[in-house]
């Protein structure tokens, strides 16, 4: 069992990336926070040992991603439209190119989302992402390429892409 | 499209300082209460329908305590903390069923889950810890699970496709089996029946619940109580109308370690029909 101080450190190290991944999947802050909490509860309950911070991060990302997928299939989710990400994007007056891009990121197929966050936000190379999530680097590169095509098409179709 | 733009777009997704602290505190509370229900077992008192009202962090929590279970209402909307936007029925570990009691073909999923974990692909649409099976008949689904004491509530309603979801851990131990069936459907009323079997390998607290709050919607109030029907206790939770004017009602029942749930969404005009459906479901046990 980890102490509260140790848990706090782990949380601070990983909160930002995990929350972004959860939000991209769930598209609302409430569910994203719940999944973030549940991810760390799994860490507490299963108490796995990690070789390194990267190993720790990879484990947390896998758990969070799976929890998101499960939640998206859950009974309550299927009955309610809980998306609130439009609030992040803001009103028409507040919209900018990043809002449009965020909208595009939200609309990406789920399989690309974690890779995109790891590559573009965390700055990992495809080989490093491969190590974190256990997929061949060539697959990661394909996912990134496909995601870029989808994002570009989306942006080109918007007023900011014209 | 510059890489930096994607980073800046993702920068918009941040947890506020207040919510960040709340999440961390929630995690640390969990860290401190491992084994809570083991301690609770020693202190368990059969408090029937005693209503407790107390305050946590500015939000109001109402709990209806019933022996071996609590119906808890809480408010997670920080702007309206008194609003009871969340509910959960929390059970203790005595509800967990030894995995050895599950005798059906569902055990074949243990190997399947082990293989899915081995060949882990986080980008598939399927979690490696989950297997879904479809059945055209509810009885076939129950037979597949093979827990003899499972009750089939109001089988005349359970006519549609039935989904059995099996969740396991890395070792292939079965943690949770749920059986879901469309119980009733009309234009203004949908009812879905669920059966939940939590095994002794399930690592977390057993609870059934929902929230109606999100940042884009302030949430609706949940309210409810325990209801006794022929000596059997049911938890009945209703909602005030959602923004689309649909109402929600959830009925939860446990027997022999198995949790049964009926989830109903309906328009007010169908209230009488809902009462009939709920009553029929309850009387099936």
pLDDT confidence bin for B142, thresholds 50/70/90: very high
User: Which pLDDT belongs to residue B215?
Assistant: 53
Other C-beta atoms lying within 10 Å of the C-beta of residue B172: 18
Please give the distance of CA B265 from its chain centroid, rounded to a whole number: 16
Residues of A whose CB is below 8 A from B1 = 101, 148, 151-152, 155
Which residue bears the tokens 């079997």? Answer: B197
pLDDT band at B268 (very low <50, low <70, confident <90, very high): very high
How far apart CA A5 and CA A10 sit, in angstroms, is 9
Count of Cβ atoms closer than 10 Å to residue A77 Cβ: 15
**Which of residues A114 and B120 earns the better pLDDT score?**
A114
What are the two backbone dihedrals, phi and then psi, of residue A136, each rounded to the nearest 5 degrees? -60, 145
Check if B127 contacts A (Cβ < 8 Å). Answer: yes
- For residue A120, the chain B residues in CB contact (below 8 A) are 3, 6-7, 10
CB B218 within 8 A of CB B229: no
Question: Average pLDDT in the A13-39 region?
Answer: 90
pLDDT at res. A82: 52
Domains of chain A: 1-84 (1.10.1740.10), 95-162 (1.10.10.10)
Region label for B61, one of left (φ > 0), alpha (ψ between -120 and 50) or beta (otherwise): beta
Q: What is the mean pLDDT of residues A37-52?
A: 84
pLDDT digits (tens, 9 = 90+) for A84-126: 666 665 555 555 667 788 888 888 888 899 999 999 888 888 8
State residue B103's pLDDT score.
Answer: 93
- Continuous segment of H or E residues that includes residue B115: helix B108-118
B83 vs A39 pLDDT, higher one: A39
How high is the pLDDT of residue B124? 52
Residues whose CB is less than 8 angstroms from the CB of residue A60 and which lie 6 or more positions away in sequence, other chains included: A14, A18, A39, A40, A43
- For chain A, the C-alpha Rg in angstroms (whole number) is 17
Q: B6 vs A4: CB contact, 8 Å cut-off? A: no
CB contact under 8 A, A79 and B203: no
Residue from A23, A30, A83, A162 to probe the interface with B (highest B Cβ count within 10 Å):
A30
DSSP B42-86: HH-----SEEEEEEETTEEEEEEEETTEEEEEE---TTSTTS--E
Q: Does the pLDDT of residue A81 top 70, yes or no?
A: no
pLDDT-based confidence at residue B55 (cuts at 50, 70, 90): very low
Give the ipTM of the model, two decimals please: 0.84
Taking the Cβ of residue B20 and every Cβ of chain A, the question of whether any pair is shorter than 8 Å is answered with yes
A82 to each of A23, A26, A29, B215, how far by Cα in Å?
12, 9, 9, 9
Rounded to 5 degrees, φ, ψ at B113 are -65, -40
Contacts of A112 in chain B (CB under 8 A): 123
Q: How confident is the model at residue A9 (pLDDT cuts 50, 70, 90)?
A: very high
B46 at interface of A, judged by CB pairs closer than 8 A: no
Structure tokens at B120: 């882990």
* A108–chain B Cβ distance below 8 A for any pair: no
User: In chain B, which residues have their Cβ closer than 8 Å to the Cβ of A29?
Assistant: 15, 19, 214-215
- String of DSSP letters for chain B: --HHHHHHHHHT----HHHHHHHHHHHHHHHHTTTHHHHHHHH-----SEEEEEEETTEEEEEEEETTEEEEEE---TTSTTS--EEEEEE-GGGPBPGGG--SGGGHHHHHHHHHHHT--TTSSS-TTEEEEEESSHHHHHHHHT-TT----STTT--S-EEEEEEE-TT--EEEEEEEEEEEEETTEEEEEEEEEEBTT--S-EEEEEE--BTTB----EEEEEEEETTEEEEEEEE---TTSEEEEEEEEEETTEEEEEEEEEEGGGHHHHHHHHHHHHHT-
pLDDT at A86: 61
Q: Is residue B6 within 8 angstroms of chain A, CB to CB?
A: yes
Q: CB pairs below 8 Å between A and B: how many?
A: 156
Specify whether the CB–CB gap between A130 and A144 falls below 8 A: no
Nearest chain A residue to B26 by CA distance is A37
Average pLDDT, chain A: 80
Strand-pairing partners, residue B194, are B180, B261
CA distance A63 to A77: 19
Nearest to B35 by CA among B92, B99, B75, B100: B92
Handedness of CA B239, B243, B245, B250 (dihedral sign): negative
- B186 shares contact with chain A (CB less than 8 Å): no
Least confident of A7-11, B29-33, B113-117: B29-33
Contact at 8 Å (CB) between B69 and B90?
Answer: yes
């Amino acid at each position: 069992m980890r102490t509260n101080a140790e848990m706090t450190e782990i949380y601070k190290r990983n909160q930002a990336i995990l929350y972004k991944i959860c939000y991209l999947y769930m598209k609302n802050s409430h569910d994203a926070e719940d999944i973030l909490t549940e991810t760390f509860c799994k860490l507490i309950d299963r108490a796995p040992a990690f070789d390194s911070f990267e190993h720790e991060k990879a484990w947390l990302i896998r758990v969070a991603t799976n929890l998101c997928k499960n939640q998206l299939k859950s009974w309550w989710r299927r009955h309610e439209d809980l998306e609130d990400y439009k609030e992040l994007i803001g009103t028409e007056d507040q919209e900018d190119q990043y809002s449009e891009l965020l909208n595009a990121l939200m609309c990406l197929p789920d399989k690309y989302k974690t890779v995109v966050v790891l590559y573009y936000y965390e700055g990992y190379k495809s080989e490093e992402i491969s190590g974190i999530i256990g997929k061949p680097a060539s697959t990661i590169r394909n996912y990134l390429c496909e995601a870029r095509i989808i994002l570009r098409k989306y942006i080109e179709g918007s007023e900011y892409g014209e | 499209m510059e890489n930096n733009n994607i980073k800046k777009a993702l920068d918009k997704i941040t947890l506020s300082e207040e919510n960040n602290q709340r999440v961390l505190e929630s995690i640390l509370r969990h860290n401190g209460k491992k084994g809570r229900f083991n301690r609770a077992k020693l202190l368990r008192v059969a408090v029937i329908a005693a209503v407790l009202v107390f305050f946590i962090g500015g939000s109001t929590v109402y709990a209806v305590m019933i022996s071996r279970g609590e119906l808890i209402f809480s408010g997670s909307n920080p702007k309206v903390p008194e609003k009871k936007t969340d509910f959960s029925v929390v059970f203790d570990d005595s509800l967990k069923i030894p995995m050895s009691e599950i005798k059906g073909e569902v055990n074949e999923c243990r190997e399947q889950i082990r293989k899915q974990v081995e060949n882990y692909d986080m980008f598939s649409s399927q979690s490696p810890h989950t297997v879904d099976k479809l059945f055209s008949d509810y009885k076939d689904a129950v037979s597949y699970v093979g827990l003899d004491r499972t009750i089939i509530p109001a089988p005349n309603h359970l006519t549609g496709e039935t989904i059995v979801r099996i969740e396991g851990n890395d070792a292939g131990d079965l943690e949770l089996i749920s059986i879901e069936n469309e119980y009733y459907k009309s234009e203004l009323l949908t009812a879905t029946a669920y059966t939940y079997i939590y095994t002794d390998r399930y690592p977390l607290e057993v609870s059934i619940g929902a929230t109606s709050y999100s940042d884009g919607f302030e949430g609706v109030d949940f309210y409810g109580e325990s209801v006794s029907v022929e000596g059997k206790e049911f938890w009945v939770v209703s909602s005030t109308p959602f923004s689309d004017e649909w109402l929600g009602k959830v009925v939860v029942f446990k027997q022999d370690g198995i949790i049964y749930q009926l989830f109903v969404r309906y328009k007010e005009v169908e209230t009488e029909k809902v009462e009939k459906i709920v009553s029929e479901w309850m009387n099936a046990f």
